[in-house]
Structure 1
Amino acid sequence: MEAEAIGLASEVDFSVTALFWRATIVVKLVMLMLIAASFWGWAIIIQKFVNYRVARRQAEAFDRAFWSGEPLDEVFDRIGGNPSGASERIFSAGMTEWRRSHREDGQLIAGATARIERSMDVAIAKEDEKLNYGLGFLATVGATAPFIGLFGTVWGIKNAFEEIAIAQNTNLAVVAPGIAEALVATALGLLAAIPAVIFYNKLSADADRIASGHEAFADEFSTILSRQLDA
């Protein structure tokens, strides 16, 4: 009897594809959801790595231009109305408000420093929103994917036990396929969650460092403008 059961079990296809097609509609939907979440998560991860690398390069290039000794008005005129990076957009926001704060006679309107700082704060907030866009999805996948996979596993095991009860047979050939189908859902949940958690932490730290650079630049720029105002 044992040899017969092992022989029957060996004839069952336990490949992931075969297990997917034998699963119930609920387990299939869970698997498809987790696969889609995994692919979308990897797309966000790759996009963020590229975007952050470009952001760092643009910030370094602007820092060299900003601290080159060239007059700020000339730097602003060269950038024009189409800044290419976050630092340039923050700088443009501050310089635009700086120029708007001058009267026709060249005198500054009262409260110019506060308005310039608020303009740059708004620009920084917009850049931070771009940096963090998509990270919430990674956090959601990392937190929920294991539980979604567990739900698929529980549902699959329930159906496996129902099939055992209907067949009134506990042979390995009857039990193993249903259990294997159910466990695939848990595996897919972990496959989606683990990279999402790891890269969420990594990308969040990178975003915080870039955002800190933006705030540091805004503080330095405000200090330069305040010095000119005091002069």
Structure 2
Amino acid sequence: MTIAAEASSMLNPVDLFMRADMVVKAIMVGLAVASVWSWVVIFDKALRFATLNSQANAFEDAVGSGRSLEEIAAQAGPNPAHPLPRMLVIALSDWREARTRGALNEGQANLLMARIDRALDSLIAREGQRVENGLGVLSVVATASPFIGLFGTVWGIMNAFGAIASAGNTNLTTVAPAISEALFATAIGLFAAIPAYIAYNKFSIDAGKFTGRLESFADDLQAAVARRLGSTPSADPRREV
């Protein structure tokens, strides 16, 4: 085999995998599976956040269009999938239930506001957990993969030096292939960790922004209900925004 062919063989991932020790092979396979798993999560979260934000933009445009909140809630349906219209449905449902009993005194108004606040906070907490689902996978892959790959490299180098000692040959052409196989495990670990680390940080920021968006809308809803509570009893609540 020529020097060029040997160099090409040392850089061929398939050859490096096939020549590796069984322990190192198992580590490489595990890291490859972790990488595929993290990419599945990355594509899923990217699509999910794009859909959530697109729907949120459309809903906020509808709210800012001047239409009544009742009309927008009716269009969204009784149990909308997106959290923003669901928050609106919850707030208006509590408002209508309270108004069916007649005019509210100050104590009843405070109880209504507290009930709406608890309901919206509970929804925000659940949605915050939902949008963060999968981030734990990215965190584990990002933090553990380099160390797992490093363990594979150390194991491979130990075996390589053991084989070199047995052969009694320390020539570079004898050492290089074994070292390349061992270092390949670290390369796979970094290949799995770097995208997972970047995606974890990006989606953590996106999740925080989306939760903040929900909290801001909850504050706007509570302010709208408070304005309705402060209006005269004869006022038509459908005209309050």
| TM-score normalised per structure 2 | 0.85
Alignment of 1:82-231 (within 5 A): 82-102=79-99, 104-108=100-104, 110=108, 111-231=111-231
Aligned counterparts of 1:197 and 1:91: Cα–Cα separation in 2: 36
Shift of 1:72: 2.0
Equivalent AA in structure 2 for residue 153 of structure 1? T
Shift of 1:99: 3.4
Shift of 1:127: 1.4
Preserved contact between residue 12 and residue 177 of structure 1 (Cα < 8 Å)? no
Alignment correspondent of 1:65: 62
1:7–1:225 distance in 2 versus 1, CA, 3 Å: closer
1:39–1:172 distance in 2 versus 1, CA, 3 Å: same
Q: Which runs of 5+ in 1 are unaligned?
A: none
More off after superposition, 132-141 vs 64-73: 64-73
More off after superposition, 22-31 vs 61-70: 61-70
Preserved contact between residue 9 and residue 172 of structure 1 (Cα < 8 Å)? no
1:60-119 CA-partner distances (Å, limit 9, x unpaired): 1111222222222222222222314221122223233333444x5334583111111111
Shift of 1:142: 1.3
Aligned counterparts of 1:8 and 1:170: Cα–Cα separation in 2: 21
1:7–1:80 distance in 2 versus 1, CA, 3 Å: closer
Aligned counterparts of 2:88 and 2:208: Cα–Cα separation in 1: 19
More off after superposition, 219-228 vs 136-145: 136-145
DSSP 3-state at the match of 1:13? helix
Alpha carbon RMSD of aligned pairs, Å?
A: 2.3
Q: Which runs of 5+ in 2 are unaligned?
A: 232-241
1:114–1:164 distance in 2 versus 1, CA, 3 Å: same
1:8-53 CA-partner distances (Å, limit 9, x unpaired): 9838832111111111121111111111111111121122111111
Q: Percent identity?
A: 43
More off after superposition, 183-192 vs 45-54: 45-54
| TM-score normalised per structure 1 | 0.89
1:96-151 CA-partner distances (Å, limit 9, x unpaired): 3333444x533458311111111111111121112111112112211111111100
Alignment correspondent of 2:35: 38
Aligned counterparts of 2:71 and 2:141: Cα–Cα separation in 1: 47
1:162-189 CA-partner distances (Å, limit 9, x unpaired): 1112212212333122111100010011
Equivalent AA in structure 1 for residue 134 of structure 2? G
Alignment correspondent of 2:237: none
Structure 1 ranges of 4+ moved more than 6 A: none
Preserved contact between residue 9 and residue 176 of structure 1 (Cα < 8 Å)? no
